[in-house]
Amino acid sequence: MKKAQVLILDYGSQYTQLLSRKVRELNIYNEVLSFETTAEELKEYKDLKGIILSGGPSSVYEEDSYGIDQEIFNLNVPILGVCYGMQLIAEKFGGKVENADAKEFGKAQLHFDNFENKLFEGLNDHKNVWMSHADHLTKIPNGFIQLAHSDSSIAAIANIEREIYAIQFHAEVTHSEEGMQMLQNFVFKICNAQKDWNMNSFIEHQVEEIKNIVKNEEVILGLSGGVDSSVAAALISKAIGKQLTCIFVDTGLLRKNEAKKVMENYTKLFDLNIKLIDASQRFYSALKGISEPEEKRKIIGREFVNVFNDEARKMQKAKFLAQGTIYPDVIESSSKGHSSKTIKSHHNVGGLPEDLKFELLEPLRTLFKDEVREVGRKLGLDNSIVNRHPFPGPGLGVRVIGEVEKEKADILREVDDIFITKLEQHNLYDKVSQAFATILPVKTVGVMGDNRTYDYVVALRSVNTIDFMTATSTHLPWEFLDEVVNEIINKVEGVNRVVYDITSKPPGTIEWE
């Protein structure tokens, strides 16, 4: 039987992962499943206490809209519909949903119509909530009552007897005042869930599971120097010690002096075997002439595994390939099994060949980034590792926009190093969530020392985010940016123009590719 007290059926909302994270903050383990999951499949979860239907971009009245197995409503498990989830519930129980003249995107004021319900228990009236919908409910379904409204829409309904609740707004978004209290009310007062999720119990469970799975076999892990692979290494090492060998592959797409720093730092921190493989030329050759981002990711992933296959021939007992895959990697990369469309495939999950010669070991694949960091701290990893900004699996392969060439990667390494070093010197590094540089596939005219130049443009990016699902650009001091740009132009040959990216996510992504 599978474990999870709360299950979230994903209808493609950009906030689905955030919703899952918020429920976990209540110390409740939950999973995100496809909207195509059947009632029979849900019965495999012996501890199931509640189901949440996420938001999504579709309209329930469209012919090919995402549906639900009607038998799910007969499982006698409390259900909460959010945004599209509310409209789906309404449509399935005889209500009516239509395109709205007054669409709601952003903040709206919530007015309670019925205080006698557990969902809004302990809350005050007239709350600001976050709306994101073009459709609205025009007829309340049979057996339901109206719990709340906004100025333009029916905002919440419920069938109290069947414990089916639905809200038009996104309680999981921080802009929704007391949204966490609503989720808490649903999880504890309606579902009667018991707190079962913390990182101490996760570590204990994973250590035992790794031991049971691996037994006397050997494991190899691709150590990148980033948070995810480092925590995975520490966790697996705690379980099986020297049976783990970490392979650090220099792809030629790493940050400045990355290979040297990893080999120096990690041999001090971990009691494990670490091998350095210089495969940079192999990766540059494989990427020659390739500009399309998804194709680059797949090539890098494939070559990465091929390097492992080559090393495995030297390790007779190597049966498992360990990766630092985390939950957002799994969800964002999935086009099958989750309804949300693939935005980008991740190196850890998108580039593996079907004839992989190892069994995968991914002990962090159920965790979000903040949970991974917490596990790292509990395992005793240094803050310089745990608090390190995310670095994509394909490395500079997706920060060199367009075709990847060594010349451009070398330029980018220098630019990125200056930017990060300056952030550290000004005590800004830990105040931003992720900062990096990219190099663009264009050159512009410049003037240096009275001479005309025709060199590359680089872009700096820094974002602040809670969950990496949404992000805003960092308002770095203008004087600081001026200092960074001045050093880049003066010290990095081949660059004559620097721009700063202020795009939020959405509509952009954090990485450029």
Cite the annotated binding site for ATP by residue number: 224-230
- H helix runs in 145-222, sequence order: 179-184, 199-214
Cα distance between residue 401 and residue 279, in whole Å: 21
Cα distance between residue 424 and residue 418, in whole Å: 10
Identify which of 137, 110, 136 has the alpha carbon closest to the alpha carbon of residue 124: 110
How many CA atoms are closer than 13 Å to the CA of 263, on its beta-carbon side? 12
Q: How many CB atoms lie within 10 A of CB 44?
A: 12
Instruction: Fill in the amino acid letter for 106.
Output: G
End-to-end Cα separation, the chain, in angstroms: 39
Identify which of 95, 197, 170, 172 has the alpha carbon closest to the alpha carbon of residue 139: 95
Look up 347 and say whether it is catalytic: no
Instruction: Fill in the amino acid letter for 72.
Output: I
Look up 172 and say whether it is catalytic: yes
Do the Cβ atoms of 350 and 389 come closer than 8 Å? no
Do the Cβ atoms of 70 and 92 come closer than 8 Å? yes
Tokens of 127: 């709350």
Tokens of 298: 């797949």
- 157: left (phi > 0), else alpha (psi -120 to 50), else beta? beta
> Environment class of residue 17 by beta-carbon count within 10 Å: exposed (0-12), middle (13-18) or buried (19+)?
buried
Tokens of 304: 């990465």
Cα distance between residue 287 and residue 397, in whole Å: 9
φ, ψ for residue 389, nearest 5 deg: -65, 150
Query: Which of 91, 104, 163, 172 is flagged as catalytic?
Result: 172
Query: Which of 83, 91, 163, 513 is flagged as catalytic?
Result: 83
Which positions make up the binding site?
224-230
Cα distance between residue 497 and residue 446, in whole Å: 8
Do the Cβ atoms of 223 and 246 come closer than 8 Å? yes
Look up 346 and say whether it is catalytic: no
Query: Which of 136, 149, 170, 338 is flagged as catalytic?
Result: 170
Do the Cβ atoms of 229 and 222 come closer than 8 Å? yes
Q: Where is 293: in which H helix or E strand?
A: helix 293-312
Residues noted as catalytic: 83, 170, 172
